[in-house]
Structure 1
Amino acid sequence: MRKVQLGDSNLYVSELALGCMSLGTERKQANYIIDQALDYGINYLDTADLYDQGRNEEIVGEAIKKRRNDIVLATKVGNHLKEDGSWYWDPSKAYIKSQVKSSLKRLQTDHIDLYQLHGGTIEDPIDETIEAFEELVEEGVIRYYGISSIRPNVIKQFVNKASIQSVMMQYSIFDRRAEEEILPLLQKQKISVVTRGSLAKGMLTKDALSITQAKAQKGYLDYRQDELLSTIKQLIDLLNRDQTLTGLAIQYALQNGAVSSIVAGASSSTQLSENVKALEQSFTTAQLEQVAHIAKQNKYEKHR
């Protein structure tokens, strides 16, 4: 599997990453999926301290400890966990520097390759947050840092003030909000985008129509349900015999020059295999251009 440089760092990540949130808490099954992902050539694993109240990091750490040097390990911080399982937003320097110790322990490692702020608002103490990450880099506890955000104003602050290598953001055929305002900026600054939600909650997979009918009665972003169904049918009509909607969704996101990797979850071996096979498909420039004509060019209105 092709590896792409993350920002201007020394990290090279697989074009398809394993989003570990979907692994569940059954350790044996999770280990199997992670091993399979690594065997496919996926070297980039993404988790967070919030997932299953830290259990996800524990499962990932146990699964990779014998292959740690082969992996780009990413996790996230900022959601302050409480003993009762609830959490609140806390981007403070004190919390970030204390919580990283807990993540390292759960992950059974002495460093994190990519440490990401798990959200953020424009009202946050951004300078203080950046200072925490910079100190962790100097201490060798993390190699690089980034943010996970869809908020243009927050992203711009970190681009201007911080040495981030990546921005994780929602980006798909159904969510093109970043295309005009943020993706060109990040590409110019050599900051990589790693996407989440590129399969749009399953609405861009082989089960697209049934999932959309069952789970999108209220629509999705600025799409009504009937618009989603109509758009899916038009996208399916674009496909050739050996192509899938999952492949089209992944390749549409990857063809943007700012995007380095697609973070896709997998709760089963079959789902992981389908994602890998989708990555291997090729699409013509004309097909990808037609997608942009079929799908809406969404705009950032909320979540600034």
Structure 2
Amino acid sequence: MKKRKLGHSDLYVTELGLGCMSIGTEEKTARSIIEAALEEGINYFDTADLYDLGENEKIVGQSLKAVRENIILATKVGNRWKPDQSGWTWDASKVYIKEEVKNSLKRLGTDYIDLYQLHGGTIEDPIEETIEAFEELKAEGFIRYYGISSIRPNVIREYINKSSMVSVMMQYSILDRRPEEEALPLLHEHGISVVTRGPLAKGLLTDKLLSKASEKGYLDYSYHELNEILPLLKEKLAHDRPFTEVALQYNLANPAVASVITGASSPEQIKRNAAAVRSTPLTDEEVLIIKDLTKPSIYKEHR
């Protein structure tokens, strides 16, 4: 599988990464999914301290222990579980980040994290303090690089100006083109990579199409609009190939994107997604057809 450089780092990530949130807590099943990813050549695994109360990090770390030096391990910080585990609060303080990284390292069973990401963030955060925490962790050798997971243009702009982050994770798909207006061009200009999530728009951008649709629609699209657009996209672009290929290749067609993160609940899903990423890239004409049929959209909220 092809690899792309992650920002200004010396990390080369596969064009498809595994989002580990969906692998579950049944160890045998989770391991089979991770092993399938490794067999497909995937080297980028993304988890978070939040997932399954830290159990996800334990399973991911244990499953990858034998190949630790050959893979890129990413996790996230910032969402702090309440003592009674009824939910979580947001904490981007330096004290919390520097303490929580130790817990993640222990659960992952590793001495270092390749990519440590802030799991969200708002403009009200103590951004300079947060950056200081990441920079210190980098200097101390606990992490190799850091980034943020955010769709907020104003927050992203602050980190571009004040930090040495190498990546931003954000939702991006044919049905969610909001990053194209502000974030993607700006990040590409500064040599910061984008790692995308949600490329299949909750299953709408697969051959299942409207069977995955809610009556409420999806983002800016009503159910009626989806009923018109999805079959048209499939007819024009996926008449002789799986729709999943078109969806993942659309993300990879943007020069700012380093890797597309998809979840998987079975080894078969991994294999399908890997085949989609290895498939023929979209032509410039096909990208224009997609842009012509879908809404560009902008971030009205999430500032």
Same fold (TM over 0.5): yes
Q: Identity across aligned pairs (percent)? A: 59
Q: Deviations over 1:97-139 (max 9, x none)?
A: 0000000000000000000000000000000000000000000
Residue identity matched to 1:110: D
Contact 2:197 2:262 in 1 (8 A): yes
CA distance in 2, matches of 1:242, 1:21: 32
Partner of 1:285: 284
Question: How far does residue 285 in structure 1 lie from its aligned partner after superposition?
Answer: 2.2
Structure 2: state its 5+ residue gaps: none
Contact 2:80 2:91 in 1 (8 A): yes
Question: How far does residue 141 in structure 1 lie from its aligned partner after superposition?
Answer: 0.1
Structure 1: state its 5+ residue gaps: none
Partner of 2:267: 269
Residue identity matched to 1:219: G
Q: Tell me whether 1:302 sits opposite 2:301 in the alignment.
A: yes
1:1-304 pair list within 5 angstroms: 1-85=1-85, 86-212=87-213, 216-282=214-280, 283-304=282-303
Contact 1:243 1:281 in 2 (8 A): no
Q: Deviations over 1:23-47 (max 9, x none)?
A: 0011011111101101111000000
CA distance in 2, matches of 1:5, 1:46: 16
Residue identity matched to 1:44: Y
Question: How far does residue 241 in structure 1 lie from its aligned partner after superposition?
Answer: 4.9
CA distance in 2, matches of 1:240, 1:130: 43
Q: Give me the TM-score of the superposition, normalised by structure 2.
A: 0.98
Runs of 4+ in 1 over 4 A off after TM superposition: none
Question: How far does residue 240 in structure 1 lie from its aligned partner after superposition?
Answer: 4.9
Question: How far does residue 242 in structure 1 lie from its aligned partner after superposition?
Answer: 3.8
Q: Deviations over 1:54-103 (max 9, x none)?
A: 01001101100111011100000000123322210000000000000000
Root-mean-square deviation over aligned CA pairs: 0.9
State the aligned residue count: 301
